[in-house]
Amino acid sequence: MQASTTSSKSDSSAKPVVSRRFDRIFLALSDVASFMAQFFKEVFVPPYEGKEIIRQCYEVGVRSLPLISLTGFITGIVFTNQSRPSLATFGATSWLPSLISIALVRALAPLVTALIASGRVGSNIGAELGSMRVTEQIEAMEVSGTNPFKFLVVSRVVATTFMIPTLAMFFILLGMLGSYVNVHQNEATSFMTFIDQFFSSISFLDINSTVVKSIVFGFTIGMVGSYKGYHSSKGTEGVGRAANSSVVTSMFLVFIEELLALQIINAIRAV
Amino acid sequence: MNPKQPRYNDQKEGVITIRNLKISFGDLHVLRGVDLDLYQGENLVVLGRSGTGKSVLIKIISGLLEPDEGTVNVLGQDVSQLNSRELDALRLKIGFSFQSSALYDSMTVRENLEFPLIRNVRNLSRAEINKAVEEALEDVGLSQTINQMPSELSGGQRKRIGIARTLILKPEIMLYDEPTAGLDPITSNEINNLINEVQERHNTSSIIITHDLTCAKTVGDRIAMLLDGRFERQGTFEEIFEDPNDERVKQFYEYNFID
Ligand SMILES: Nc1ncnc2c1ncn2[C@@H]1O[C@H](COP(=O)(O)OP(=O)(O)O)[C@@H](O)[C@H]1O
Ligand SMILES: [Mg+2]
């Protein structure tokens, strides 16, 4: 297996500018495609880097947990509090738990979790792999009999793919708790009643689509960060650029995927 | 400073044989037909200005880059003909000291040194691993750093830990990429001595890439000068620099060397 350091070996000498730009875009796309293909080729083939995967799951999951939990809790409180007046006009404040559960499960939890993870985890992966590329650590790994793609990229992508859905679930739990605190203070709703109403308005489809969406988001964040870092250009500014464009690109892709998911889920609901 | 006494092997048994090696990146023709031999037990210095393709050359030798043309034979094996498992096996016999030291900065010194060992040698006991790590650290005189992080080390220390990490697998060939670049003269001299010690103690054959003529003079049994993508000048330090009738060699000498 050859290192991807050769990827920029293309001949684009005497061509018109437009055609050269198309060449570049096409080359970038085929680069991304082969990066993903390599992931799927290597993720199922032993030896598995189990220890490294667990370490990355810890990095991604446990380290992000405080921020995600706090955001979820506060979102629950604020969203409940801000929704109350409009429901109160119809005398329907008892619908608050249902409203919150739909908002949290269907939209807020997967999206906000993915956006926070893009910022925290995506930039981290981009910077980490970028500086490993620049300081030749990736090549050092390769010449010492370790497949750096499997050790570094596969472990990170697997970790984000598993941990982002888990974090989204935590977001829902903490959001629910925040909402309950607010509802309990204002409407004196009991915990059991709250839970009952919270879960009565969401279906399996809602939970499933949130999990599937989060898996896709997690995969995206891991892939983008790894790709940007692994292909980081030489020099310290290359590392910064890798970190920065990891965040921007994965946020952008998360939004696109969210819109696509909306269409798909609506189509399923319509059946 | 006197140049070292060349260590020539009488049989001149070749460990690396490179013939007509060519590589270009786009329009940039970096290596344009390189022929080079590394003989058993010698220190071969590759001199050349920045950007002439010295790093590219040793990356091709260790299979990190693929040449466009030519053959590279290492320890009797044609590098381009190897599958990935055979290449991994060959790489274990080649120690690569990177210009930026390439220490894994998320790991301690101990973990850095263990890494190649644990991943390549099966069924080692904890005691055996510890012993190998301590020996390798002693080899480079840095036993006290064992629990430090790479970020806590000086440039010279990082370089030596990097060398220790490659020595732990007892390689037959060492490739040093600019071992003294960015180091002060005293530290450079320590690294030069270390390179000579490695040669003597383990009887390794080494390629040392540098543009530092003090380093070349101190460690090199033989010098090869990379000029315009080829090795046009080869020989001992004196043979090349005593009578530098080549303008490019003269320039290199005048601008780089303060005796
Ligand atoms: N993977 C690569 N892709 C494109 N160009 C490269 C690559 N590696 C090296 N080069 C180019 O080849 C030339 C020689 O590089 P290098 O071997 O690093 O020089 P040096 O002799 O200073 O070590 C440089 O101009 C460099 O930009
Ligand atoms: Mg170099």
H/E/C letters for each residue in A19-82? Answer: HHHHHHHHHHHHHHHHHHHHHHHHHCCCCCCHHHHHHHHHHHHHHHHHHHHHHHHHHHHHHHHH
What ligand has the least distance to the C-alpha of B227? Answer: 1
Nearby residues of B187 by Cβ (< 8 Å), 6 or more positions away: B154, B155, B156, B180
Rounded to an integer, the average pLDDT of A13-29 is 74
Q: Quick one: residue B204, left, alpha or beta (phi over 0 = left, psi -120 to 50 = alpha)? A: beta
pLDDT of residue A161: 97
Strands B222-227 and B43-47, sheet pairing? parallel
pLDDT in tens, A51-76: 999 999 999 999 999 999 999 999 99
pLDDT of residue A188: 87
pLDDT of residue A16: 67
What percent of chain B lies above the pLDDT cut of 70? 93
Q: Is A237 on the interface with B (CB under 8 A)?
A: no
| pLDDT tops 90 at residue A181 | yes
pLDDT of residue A47: 84
Higher pLDDT, residue A72 or B238: A72
Nearby residues of A249 by Cβ (< 8 Å), 6 or more positions away: A224, A228
Give the span between the Cα atoms of A237 and A131, in whole angstroms.
10
Q: Is A6 on the interface with B (CB under 8 A)?
A: yes
Check B25 against A3: CB less than 8 A apart.
no
pLDDT of residue B6: 60
Tell me what the pLDDT averaged over chain B comes to: 89
Check A143 against B62: CB less than 8 A apart.
yes
What percent of chain A lies above the pLDDT cut of 70? 94
Q: Both tokens of residue A51?
A: 């220890």
| pLDDT tops 90 at residue B2 | no
Highest mean pLDDT of the ranges A74-78, A89-93, A197-201: A74-78
pLDDT in tens, B38-69: 999 999 999 988 889 999 999 999 999 999 99
For chain A, which residues make up each domain, given as ranges? Answer: 1-45, 49-270
Distance B61 CA to ligand 2 centre (A): 14
pLDDT of residue B259: 43
Nearby residues of A66 by Cβ (< 8 Å), 6 or more positions away: none
Q: Which of A5-9, A22-26, B53-57, B130-134 shows the lowest per-residue confidence on average (mean pLDDT)?
A: A5-9
* Nearest CB neighbour to B25, from listed A2, A9, A143: A9
**pLDDT confidence tier of residue B160, bands split at 50, 70 and 90:** very high
| Sign of the torsion formed by the C-alpha atoms of B106, B66, B16 and B77 | positive
Nearby residues of A196 by Cβ (< 8 Å), 6 or more positions away: none
Nearest alpha-carbon partner for B98 in A137, A2, A237: A137
**pLDDT confidence tier of residue B12, bands split at 50, 70 and 90:** confident
Check B116 against A13: CB less than 8 A apart.
no
Q: Which of A163-177, A181-195, B243-257 shows the lowest per-residue confidence on average (mean pLDDT)?
A: B243-257
User: A151: which DSSP letter?
Assistant: I
Rounded to an integer, the average pLDDT of A125-154 is 94
pLDDT of residue B182: 87
| pLDDT tops 60 at residue B165 | yes
Check A137 against B119: CB less than 8 A apart.
no
Higher pLDDT, residue B233 or A43: A43
Rounded to an integer, the average pLDDT of B168-177 is 94
Give the span between the Cα atoms of A135 and A236, in whole angstroms.
9
Model pTM greater than 0.90? no
pLDDT in tens, B95-142: 999 999 999 999 999 999 999 999 888 888 999 999 999 999 998 999
Q: Is B27 on the interface with A (CB under 8 A)?
A: yes
Contact in structure between A72 and A173 (CB atoms under 8 Å): yes
Give yes or no for residue A19 CB within 6 A of ligand 1: no
What percent of chain A lies above the pLDDT cut of 90? 72
Give yes or no for residue B50 CB within 6 A of ligand 1: yes
Rounded to an integer, the average pLDDT of A127-144 is 94
pLDDT in tens, B24-43: 998 999 999 999 999 999 99
Domains and CATH numbers, chain B: 15-93+172-255 (3.40.50.300), 104-170 (no CATH)
pLDDT of residue A11: 46
**pLDDT confidence tier of residue B174, bands split at 50, 70 and 90:** very high
| pLDDT tops 50 at residue A12 | no
Range B191-198 contact pairs with CB under 8 angstroms and sequence separation of 24 or more: B191/B156, B191/B159, B191/B160, B191/B215, B192/B218, B192/B219, B193/B218, B194/B140, B194/B160, B194/B163, B195/B43, B195/B219, B196/B4, B196/B43, B197/B139, B198/B139, B198/B163, B198/B167, B198/B174
pLDDT of residue A4: 42
Give yes or no for residue B25 CB within 6 A of ligand 1: yes
Rounded to an integer, the average pLDDT of B176-184 is 92
DSSP H stretches of helix in A89-203: 96-102, 109-117, 123-134, 137-143, 148, 155-187, 191-200
Give yes or no for residue A8 CB within 6 A of ligand 1: yes
Which residue's entry shows tokens 């055609």? Answer: A19
What ranges make up the beta strands (E) of B79-229? 94-97, 173-177, 205-210, 222-227
* DSSP per-residue codes, A201-243: T--HHHHHHHHHHHHHHHHHHHHHHHHHHHTPPSSHHHHHHHH
Range B119-123 contact pairs with CB under 8 angstroms and sequence separation of 24 or more: B119/A144, B119/A145, B119/A146, B120/A144, B120/A145, B120/B92, B120/B169, B121/B169
Give the span between the Cα atoms of A107 and A57, in whole angstroms.
24
The DSSP bridge partners found for residue B44 are B207, B222
Nearest alpha-carbon partner for B136 in B109, B107, B100: B109
Nearest alpha-carbon partner for B6 in B190, B231, B240, B244: B240
Check A136 against B105: CB less than 8 A apart.
no
Which residue's entry shows tokens 């999951």? Answer: A61
Rounded to an integer, the average pLDDT of B157-175 is 94
Q: Both tokens of residue B259?
A: 């005796």
Rounded to an integer, the average pLDDT of A85-112 is 91
Rounded to an integer, the average pLDDT of A232-236 is 81
pLDDT of residue B24: 93
**pLDDT confidence tier of residue B227, bands split at 50, 70 and 90:** confident
User: A267: which DSSP letter?
Assistant: H
**Chain B hits for A10, Cβ within 8 Å:** 26
Rounded to an integer, the average pLDDT of A32-44 is 91
pLDDT of residue A18: 72
Q: Both tokens of residue B106?
A: 């998320």
